[in-house]
Amino acid sequence: MARAGTSAARATIDNMTEAAKTEESVTENHEHVKPELPKDVRVRFCPSPTGIPHVGMVRTALFNWSEARHTGGTFVFRIEDTDAQRDSEESFNQIIEALQWLGIDWDEGVGVGGPDGPYRQSERGEIYENVAQKLLEAGYAYESFSTSEEIEARNEAAGRPKAFGYDGYDRNLTEEQKAAFRAEGRKPALRIRMPDEDITFNDLIRGDITFKAGSVPDYVIVRPNGDPLYTLTNPVDDALMRINVVLRGEDLLSSTPRQIVLYRYLMELGIAKEMPLFGHLPYVMGQGNKKLSKRDPESNLFLHREHGFIKEGLLNYLALLGWSIAPDRDIFSMDEMVEKFDVRDVKANPARFDIDKAISINAEHIRMLEPLDFLERSVPYLFRDGVVSAESWDALTDREREILTAAAPLVQPRVRLLGEVAGMVGSLLSDADYIAPEADAKKQLKASAGEVLDAAIAALDAVPESEWKTDNLHETLNKALVEDGGYKPRLAFGPVRVAMSGRRVSPPLFESMEIVGKPVSIARLRNLREHLPEIQG
């Protein structure tokens, strides 16, 4: 039967929705004294392998990693894979791949080992069973035989919404009542006894947060079939792995009072050493003031990599989702982040994922790469897009390496993503004597394009191959088209650019012509001139 205290507390919030109950029963105080961090910080990252790694997950990993590295603490990585229906080995491998690509390393955990393994929950069943039994024997947990249908029916009969939640009915069942349920073939779940008191903690980011007495019902830690739930496995793992700073998403804030109560019980049983500090990271928002969903393309980590984000740029941007290194400074390295990061400086307000800003920051980091590093990272994208013969720098032909080396200083300052490199260098690597213009490039071919191409061909034909150099080409075409022809630079050089690359935006024109060489350059100009009538329609 329900205890009197809980019933009284709930009577004041009858007929309220779950969302309203949460809003009414939680208070936050953002003006607060920041808690001191432990001397030996131990943080953890514990994702569930249920899909492709998303940016919110990576942001959580990054902030935990940064706190550990900043304080000289320990970063533990474990996998919460007890949901057999949703978990997959493919997702597990993708999480590992994501962390390794980004350079987020860990001190203890999956693949590394440590004193508190195993580090996959699916391999820790006996541990959870043992702890659950101790909680039951101590009276901190109890057997609950109520079905969801019975709970809803009791709520309805009491004039509460059906979905109000568990009412404490099984708290004080007699042994005879339990035996009767078992005789019916029922198996009990295990629930934690929540105390009839406010639960307050000092969040590292949000300040003092209080959950009112009665706002959190007794909750299930073990299903009737014996499967342990997150509500048991997560705090137990944290306790046994001596995690003393828990940094996680705001969406888990509502589960914190449950964890605190369970931690108290685990401390009483000698299983936990101390209560950890909690910090709840702000939501990452997507379009239209909605939380960024796993289904949103912006959330897909590997899609960003496929487009050509480099790890430095993506990590830099993700770090800005709730934190900043200094006022009016957006660009920094991970070493700089580690030096400055303190989770207590993270803002509580939701952070918005702005893909344009992310790309802009990535472009800055691409520009900071050493030229050879830039080229080596670009080659897999060039191979994917069919413009080079191999997917590694060393496996390219000598000619490909020569052209790319010459192109690097022209292209690197102009691309924002490595996926854009192929479009910029494709025309330089190709020996094609005609490149069909892209749709937006055709718009550059004004009525004067034919005359411009004729004049350019005549002028360039006279340039010896030995003098086919950037400065000379610039001087020759400028004289023929701008000074003598009277064309404005945009009208003068636009058709030549389109002939050379087929694109509206390309590497610098005269440097490109030098790289491609005279025969191919002249051929491209002549062939565009020949196709001009059909292009202009």
The contacts of residue 346 (CB under 8 Å, 6+ apart) are 63, 204, 205, 279, 281, 282, 322, 323
Q: Which of 25, 30, 41, 31 has its CA nearest to residue 277? A: 41
Helix (H), strand (E) at residue 356: helix 355-368
Alpha carbon dihedral 468, 471, 476, 482, in 10-degree steps, equals 150
Q: Which of 301, 249, 240 has its CA nearest to residue 45? A: 249
Whole-number Å distance between alpha carbons of 239 and 422: 50
Three-state DSSP at 232 gives helix
The contacts of residue 406 (CB under 8 Å, 6+ apart) are 428, 511, 515
**Any bridge partners for residue 511, and if so which?**
none
Q: Is 294 annotated as a binding residue?
A: yes
Whole-number Å distance between alpha carbons of 193 and 220: 10
CB 97 within 8 A of CB 104: no
List residues with catalytic annotation.
294
Phi, psi of 259 (to 5 degrees): -65, -40
- R_g of the chain computed on alpha carbons: 32
Whole-number Å distance between alpha carbons of 282 and 203: 12
The C-alpha angle with vertex 345 and arms to 342 and 312, in degrees rounded to 5, equals: 65
Q: Tell me if the bond preceding 118 is cis, omega within 30° of 0.
A: yes
Whole-number Å distance between alpha carbons of 165 and 324: 40
Q: Is the dihedral of CA 372, 376, 381, 385 positive or negative?
A: positive
Whole-number Å distance between alpha carbons of 87 and 321: 27
CB 210 within 8 A of CB 26: yes
Whole-number Å distance between alpha carbons of 80 and 83: 8
The C-alpha angle with vertex 335 and arms to 329 and 337, in degrees rounded to 5, equals: 45
CB 375 within 8 A of CB 405: yes
Whole-number Å distance between alpha carbons of 444 and 509: 15
Q: What is the DSSP letter of 270?
A: T
| Number of C-beta neighbours around residue 119 at 10 A | 23
CB 168 within 8 A of CB 193: no
Residues tagged in the binding site annotation: 294
Residues tagged in the binding site annotation for ATP: 294
